[in-house]
């Protein structure tokens, strides 16, 4: 079974940067999926069941908090590991991220090596 990671951000260059950070995982059979808005993210998560989602907060159609709430609390997909990756670093936003069920809350700018290490750990690929 292939692991999948979904990258959700409305900024194309951020999606590309996260994708580049994680591209080594493709050699280990991980599929990288992309979405540029919350509505598409929910549909992709329902259809593809990725093991992990890197999720922006501020996006069109549906924000990251709403996406996370649907996945974790309405669809009860607790096996989907959700990492918020956002510019919104206030304590209020962090708490909201926890309330809707996010596993981790990271702020931009991010360390690409940290993202890769975290993804490997979550997918059980770390040495």
Write out pLDDT tens, residues 59-104. 989 999 999 999 999 999 999 999 999 988 899 999 999 999 999 9
Characterize the bridge pairing of strands 52-55 and 104-107: unpaired
The DSSP symbol for 27 reads G
CB 18 within 8 A of CB 10: no
CB 52 within 8 A of CB 80: yes
How far is the C-alpha of 126 from the C-alpha of 111, rounded, in Å?
A: 17
Give me 36's structure tokens: 């540029």
Higher local confidence (pLDDT), 35 or 60: 35
Q: Averaged over 43-54, what is the pLDDT?
A: 97
Of 52, 77, 67, the residue nearest 97 (C-alpha)? 67
Provide CATH code, domain 4-123: 3.40.50.2300
The DSSP symbol for 105 reads E
Q: Categorize the per-residue pLDDT at 28 as very low, low, confident or very high, splitting at 50, 70 and 90.
A: very high
Q: Averaged over 100-125, what is the pLDDT?
A: 94
Which sign, positive or negative, has the C-alpha torsion 30, 31, 37, 39? negative
């Amino acid at each position: 079974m292939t692991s999948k990671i979904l990258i959700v951000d409305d900024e194309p260059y951020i999606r590309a940067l996260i994708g580049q950070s994680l591209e080594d995982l493709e050699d280990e059979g991980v599929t990288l999926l992309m979405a540029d808005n919350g509505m598409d993210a929910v549909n992709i998560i329902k259809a593809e069941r990725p093991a992990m989602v890197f999720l922006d907060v501020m996006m069109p159609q549906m924000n990251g908090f709403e996406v996370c709430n649907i996945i974790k609390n309405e669809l009860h997909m607790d096996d989907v590991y959700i990492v918020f990756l956002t510019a919104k670093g206030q304590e209020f936003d962090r708490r909201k991220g926890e309330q809707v069920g996010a596993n981790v809350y990271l702020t931009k700018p991010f360390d690409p090596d940290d993202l890769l290490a975290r993804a490997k750990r979550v997918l059980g690929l770390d040495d």
